């Protein structure tokens, strides 16, 4: 075999022909960094300058070849010369990457491996540092192939795959018994090699392992919340939440379940497009919410089903039959979204797989008497097959004929009732999408929805009458049951003897309850009617534009309806005198309060304020408290633009990107986003991030002090002294003179500019619309995300002190940094 070593591969494709030992780029979904703009040396890197290369001798080891490289380490195949002669794998931290956190993770991985002694886990052999000071450790060199590749290449049967999987479960259980959670179980980290006794599986790469109790090393750097570690395709929902303090062994059970699913069905348990999104929120949402179908169903949803079956030495129909039943139940129990519904331990999982192989009942399936009887028959089929066939044949003939007759009779009587149940479910499903659908069709679609809902509620009386008949029958049957019961036993919850009758009764109860609730003052019909009132029809949009745009277009031709058809002239703000517009693509027209101001609501479209152009002093005066050297004052001119009244919220993000961040509980909280994510959102909507000059001009709103509006920070923004260390819903403080909210504290807000320390080089000449275009910005508007640069953030974080919230204060962070307090508010640039 030419397969090598024990490092993860560079890509996680389903059917690879060769093994690549470069660490998997999907092992962390996004390079998530926490930057402290006030501490340039926070990374704490040690400047190691001598990189290890093939041919070097490190202690008793001579480096032979490179097996793989990651962001922080390189793995070499090495020859050990003494005291034993053998090949080993050596992992070395790259020069220049020995930060305190990297070294801590490196040492934690070594300690994790050292704690374990199991034939299914790669062993650590030695550790030390190179002459240049680079930490390394030597481990057992495993010649093997990723488990899915191996099984497909050697066409292992389902039974043989399950035997191999049991070995993997035992290895992970050993790690758990030592208090270690792997957190990155996937085929690339399970290598299989051929030995004299057959295939042997070895688990590798404990680089993101977590100790359940005490840290693996003293002063271990704790994983930061909101830092995603692992491989998304095999990651449990709770691990995707990025709260590392809430991970237990059942997270590994989930990952093992995904591997098992792939071994059985040849595909992951997610829809084909679940991981095609660039947005990490969309991927995390797929992990948490995507419907998982049983392996037997997933098999038939792919065109390569015949090839998958052939790799398991069978045909499609036979494979589906094997998967349907116990194996479906076992796999589905592993990948339950709620961890309480999964196997408690990997031992329990392995035991259930063993039960299946032994034709014994599996715990994942609550099958009852007949299920156990069938298992008994499979174990002792010679003794019971004849009797079983006779009994089953007689029973089936009698029961099926009576059942079919009764079903046909009842279905003929209940067509209308069942169609109303279906219509109710359809209306509920459609309702959620109404506010965010195409604004050109929104009003008409809402009108049709209301017509169907009103027609349905007119039949409520008919369904109530039918339900009363069921209730009367139920009371009569309960009385009979009490009269015939003996021994004074506690009465059980009543159910109709016929399952279909019970199903119809329960659904009829649900239908009547929901139709009643549909008509209530705060029910769905009232809600959709409110949405409809806040959704202008195409005729109303034209009338509104004609009535309100004449003076605006005369002053600003670039705001004509032809240039911005999705902008609806909302109102001229009674306080600021500035025009405000709603982007109808993003939601509904806001309601007005008693003072003529927009009411904040999660279903509102993005509200933009038309900012007039002007010239101002950018930066801060020398005597401003908290001033920093990078705030040199200089004169800047900006032309008019539209800027969002509030920071982009979770709800507004979800309406456009069709996903929500993990753990999101309030649609009115500002979204947390990287620079790249913010630009992706803007590009989809034909927005832009504001330039640094535009942002400060909008924040100052004609003022010259540290804070706009009232000039009192407690009244203008959320910061360290009043935020309770958390983000707040938008619009909770007072607006500035332009009617913009939260400019002085809540989220930091991304600006388009690359951070430049000395941002004024105009030599006394006023700059017009200055902007520092990031070096990795391409001509087509995209970015080279492999080379992130530092970009500007403005606005003041909810965790920041007062000086950080000034109009002139400047933050900066890497474009790929995902920090809870980083958000954005877009602009629409006008052509002047």
pLDDT at 173: 93
**Band of pLDDT at residue 594, cut at 50, 70 and 90:** confident
- The answer to which of 45-49, 513-517, 518-522, 818-822 has the lowest mean pLDDT is 45-49
Per the DSSP assignment, residues forming a β-bridge with 78 are: 63, 88
- The answer to which of 3-12, 437-446, 457-466 has the lowest mean pLDDT is 3-12
Q: What is the rounded distance in angstroms from the CA atom of residue 666 to the CA atom of residue 276? A: 26
Q: What is the DSSP letter of 364?
A: T
**Band of pLDDT at residue 346, cut at 50, 70 and 90:** very high
- The answer to which of 176-185, 588-597, 606-615, 671-680 has the lowest mean pLDDT is 588-597
Pairing of strands 634-638, 822-823: unpaired
Q: Which helix (H) or strand (E) holds 90?
A: strand 86-93
Question: Mean per-residue pLDDT for 389-405?
Answer: 44
pLDDT at 368: 45
pLDDT at 556: 63
First to last CA, the chain: 67
Closest CA to 187 of 117, 124, 234: 234
pTM above 0.75, yes or no: no
- The answer to which of 54-58, 226-230, 737-741, 780-784 has the lowest mean pLDDT is 226-230
Per the DSSP assignment, residues forming a β-bridge with 767 are: 636
pLDDT at 557: 62
* Percentage of the chain lying above the pLDDT 90 cut: 40
C-alpha 213: how far from chain center:
27
What is the average pLDDT score of the chain? 80
**Band of pLDDT at residue 118, cut at 50, 70 and 90:** confident
pLDDT at 210: 80
Distances (CA, A) of 669 to 69, 138, 395, 648, 822: 40, 48, 61, 8, 12
Q: What is the rounded distance in angstroms from the CA atom of residue 422 to the CA atom of residue 790? A: 53
**Band of pLDDT at residue 641, cut at 50, 70 and 90:** very high
Structure tokens at 700: 């100052």
Question: Mean per-residue pLDDT for 727-734?
Answer: 96
- CA angle 731-732-734, nearest 5°? 80
Alpha-helical segments (H) within 60-206: 100-115, 147-153, 158-177
Of the CA atoms within 13 Å of residue 180, those in its CB half-sphere come to: 26
Q: What is the rounded distance in angstroms from the CA atom of residue 68 to the CA atom of residue 8? A: 8
Question: Mean per-residue pLDDT for 378-404?
Answer: 44
Q: Per-residue pLDDT for 31 more than 90?
A: no
Q: At what angle do helices 439-457 and 538-548 cross, to 10 degrees?
A: 130
pLDDT higher at 462 or 828: 828
For residues 350 and 166, the answer to whether their CB atoms sit within 8 Å is yes
Question: Mean per-residue pLDDT for 179-203?
Answer: 91
Per the DSSP assignment, residues forming a β-bridge with 69 are: 74
pLDDT at 616: 96
Cβ within 8 Å of residue 413, ≥6 positions away: none
**Band of pLDDT at residue 264, cut at 50, 70 and 90:** very high
Q: Per-residue pLDDT for 239 more than 80?
A: yes
pLDDT higher at 179 or 14: 179
Closest CA to 103 of 149, 60, 129, 135: 135
pLDDT higher at 215 or 376: 215
Q: What is the rounded distance in angstroms from the CA atom of residue 285 to the CA atom of residue 650? A: 13
Alpha-helical segments (H) within 290-380: 295-300, 305-310, 316-323, 326-334, 346-357, 368-379
pLDDT at 281: 66
Question: Mean per-residue pLDDT for 540-551?
Answer: 68
Per the DSSP assignment, residues forming a β-bridge with 519 are: none
For residues 748 and 822, the answer to whether their CB atoms sit within 8 Å is yes
Q: Per-residue pLDDT for 687 more than 90?
A: yes
Structure tokens at 827: 């602009």
pLDDT at 810: 96
- CA angle 535-282-607, nearest 5°? 30
CB atoms within 10 A of CB 699: 25
- The answer to which of 33-37, 202-206, 602-606, 686-690 has the lowest mean pLDDT is 33-37
Q: Which residue has the tokens 């806040």?
A: 534
Q: Which helix (H) or strand (E) holds 466?
A: helix 460-484
Coil, strand, or helix at residue 614? Answer: strand
Q: φ and ψ at 505, to 5 degrees?
A: -60, -45
Q: In what order do the strands lie in the sheet with 145-146?
A: 145-146, 190-195, 198-203
- The answer to which of 186-190, 278-282, 513-517 has the lowest mean pLDDT is 278-282
* Percentage of the chain lying above the pLDDT 70 cut: 77
- What DSSP assignment string belongs to 739-760? S--STTSBSEEEEEEEP-SS--
Of the CA atoms within 13 Å of residue 71, those in its CB half-sphere come to: 14
Q: How many residues does the chain have?
A: 832
Question: Mean per-residue pLDDT for 341-356?
Answer: 93
pLDDT at 251: 94
pLDDT higher at 256 or 661: 256
Q: Per-residue pLDDT for 463 more than 90?
A: no
Closest CA to 190 of 174, 201, 206, 175: 201
**Band of pLDDT at residue 116, cut at 50, 70 and 90:** confident
Q: What is the rounded distance in angstroms from the CA atom of residue 11 to the CA atom of residue 21? A: 10
pLDDT at 628: 93
Of the CA atoms within 13 Å of residue 251, those in its CB half-sphere come to: 30
Q: What is the rounded distance in angstroms from the CA atom of residue 729 to the CA atom of residue 739? A: 17
CB atoms within 10 A of CB 310: 15
Q: Per-residue pLDDT for 763 more than 80?
A: no
Coil, strand, or helix at residue 820? Answer: coil
- The answer to which of 106-120, 332-346, 414-428, 449-463 has the lowest mean pLDDT is 414-428
pLDDT at 382: 43
Pairing of strands 822-823, 748-754: parallel
Q: Per-residue pLDDT for 744 more than 70?
A: yes
pLDDT at 409: 44
Q: Which residue has the tokens 């030695």?
A: 126
Coil, strand, or helix at residue 735? Answer: coil
Per the DSSP assignment, residues forming a β-bridge with 138 are: 90, 126
pLDDT higher at 541 or 123: 123
Domains of the chain, earliest start first: 25-357 (1.10.510.10), 417-482+494-531 (no CATH), 613-638+647-825 (3.90.1580.10)
pLDDT at 572: 85
Q: What is the rounded distance in angstroms from the CA atom of residue 508 to the CA atom of residue 501? A: 10
pLDDT at 286: 79
Instruction: Name the residues annotated as catalytic.
Output: 184
Q: What is the rounded distance in angstroms from the CA atom of residue 210 to the CA atom of residue 244? A: 9
Structure tokens at 461: 């009386």
- CA angle 644-648-653, nearest 5°? 130
pLDDT at 414: 56
Query: Residues 38-79: pLDDT tens digits?
Result: 333 333 333 334 577 888 898 889 999 988 776 567 889 999
pLDDT at 228: 57
pLDDT at 488: 53
- The pairs formed by 452-459 with CB atoms below 8 angstroms and a separation of 24 or more are 452/423, 452/427, 453/427, 453/518, 453/524, 453/525, 453/528, 454/525, 456/420, 456/423, 456/424, 456/427, 456/515, 456/518, 457/515, 457/518, 457/519, 457/525, 459/420, 459/515
**Band of pLDDT at residue 764, cut at 50, 70 and 90:** low
Pairing of strands 190-195, 145-146: antiparallel
């Amino acid at each position: 075999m030419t397969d090598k070593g024990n490092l993860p591969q560079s890509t996680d494709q389903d059917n690879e022909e060769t093994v690549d030992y470069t660490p998997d780029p999907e092992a962390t979904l996004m390079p998530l960094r926490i930057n402290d703009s006030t501490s340039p040396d926070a990374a704490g890197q040690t400047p190691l300058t001598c990189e290890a290369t093939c041919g070097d001798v490190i202690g008793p080891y001579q480096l032979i070849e490179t097996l793989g490289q990651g962001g922080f380490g390189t793995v070499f195949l090495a020859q050990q010369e003494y005291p034993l002669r053998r090949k080993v794998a050596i992992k070395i931290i790259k020069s220049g990457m020995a930060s305190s956190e990297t070294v801590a993770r490196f040492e934690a991985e070594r300690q994790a491996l050292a704690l374990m002694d199991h034939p299914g886990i790669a062993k650590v052999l030695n550790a030390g540092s190179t002459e240049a000071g680079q930490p390394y450790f030597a481990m057992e060199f495993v010649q093997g192939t990723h488990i899915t590749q191996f099984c497909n290449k050697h066409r292992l049967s389902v039974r043989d795959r399950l035997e191999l999987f049991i070995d993997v479960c035992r290895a992970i259980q050993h790690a758990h018994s030592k208090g270690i959670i792997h957190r990155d179980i996937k085929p690339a980290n399970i290598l299989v090699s051929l030995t004299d006794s057959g295939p042997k599986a070895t688990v590798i790469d404990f680089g993101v392992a977590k100790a359940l109790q005490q840290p693996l090393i003293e002063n271990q750097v704790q994983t930061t919340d909101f830092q995603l570690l692992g491989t998304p395709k095999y990651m449990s929902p709770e691990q995707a939440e990025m709260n590392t303090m809430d991970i237990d062994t059942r997270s590994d059970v989930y990952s093992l379940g995904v591997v098992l699913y792939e071994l059985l069905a040849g595909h992951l348990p997610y829809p084909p497009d679940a991981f095609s999104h660039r947005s990490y929120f969309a991927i995390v949402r797929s992990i948490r919410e995507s419907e998982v179908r049983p392996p037997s169903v997933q098999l038939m949803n792919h065109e390569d089903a015949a090839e998958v079956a052939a790799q398991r030495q069978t045909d499609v129909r036979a494979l589906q039959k094997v998967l349907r039943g116990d194996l479906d139940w076992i796999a589905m129990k592993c990948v339950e979204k709620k961890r309480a519904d999964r196997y408690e331990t990997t031992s329990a999982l392995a035991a259930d797989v063993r039960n299946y192989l032994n034709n014994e009942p599996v715990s994942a399936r609550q099958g009852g008497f007949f299920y156990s009887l069938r298992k008994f028959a499979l174990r002792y089929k010679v003794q019971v097959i004849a009797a079983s066939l006779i009994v089953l044949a007689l029973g089936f003939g009698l029961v099926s004929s009576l059942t079919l007759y009764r079903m046909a009779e009842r279905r003929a009587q209940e067509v209308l009732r069942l169609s109303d149940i279906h219509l109710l479910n359809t209306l509920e499903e459609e309702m959620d999408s109404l506010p965010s659908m195409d604004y050109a069709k929104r009003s008409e679609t809402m009108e049709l929805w209301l017509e169907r809902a009103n027609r349905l509620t007119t039949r409520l009386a008919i369904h109530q009458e039918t339900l009363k008949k069921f209730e009367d029958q139920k009371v009569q049957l309960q009385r009979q049951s009490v009269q015939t019961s003996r021994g004074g036993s506690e009465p059980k919850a009543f159910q109709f003897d016929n399952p279909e009758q019970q199903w119809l009764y329960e659904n009829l109860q649900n239908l009547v309850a929901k139709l009643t609730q549909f008509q209530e003052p705060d029910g769905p019909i009232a809600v959709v009617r409110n949405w409809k009132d806040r959704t202008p029809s195409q005729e109303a949009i034209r009338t509104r534009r004609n009535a309100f745009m004449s003076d605006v277009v005369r002053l600003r031709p670039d705001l004509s309806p032809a240039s911005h058809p999705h902008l609806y002239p909302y109102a001229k703000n009674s306080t600021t005198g500035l025009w405000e517009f709603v982007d109808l693509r993003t939601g509904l027209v806001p309601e007005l309060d008693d003072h003529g101001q927009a009411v904040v609501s999660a279903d509102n479209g993005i509200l933009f304020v038309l900012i007039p152009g002007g010239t101002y002093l950018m930066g801060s005066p020398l005597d401003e408290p908290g001033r920093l050297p990078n705030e040199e004052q200089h004169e800047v001119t900006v032309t008019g633009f539209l800027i969002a009244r509030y920071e982009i919220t979770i709800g507004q993000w979800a309406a456009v990107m069709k996903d929500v961040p993990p753990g999101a509980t309030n649609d009115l909280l500002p979204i947390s986003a990287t620079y790249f994510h913010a630009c992706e959102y803007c590009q989809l909507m034909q927005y832009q991030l504001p330039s640094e000059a535009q942002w400060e001009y909008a924040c100052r709103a004609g003022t010259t002090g540290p804070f706009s509006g009232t000039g009192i920070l407690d009244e203008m923004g959320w910061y360290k002294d009043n935020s309770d260390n958390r983000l707040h819903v938008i619009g909770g403080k007072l607006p500035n003179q332009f009617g913009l909210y939260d400019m002085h504290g809540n989220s930091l807000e991304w600006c388009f500019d690359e951070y430049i320390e000395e941002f004024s080089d105009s030599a006394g000449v006023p700059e017009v619309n200055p902007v520092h275009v990031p070096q990795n910005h391409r001509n087509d508007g995209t970015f080279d995300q492999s080379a992130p640069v530092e970009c500007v953030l403005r606005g003041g974080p909810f965790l920041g002190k007062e000086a950080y919230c000034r109009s002139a204060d400047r933050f900066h962070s890497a474009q790929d940094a995902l920090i809870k307090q980083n958000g954005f508010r877009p602009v629409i640039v006008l052509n002047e």
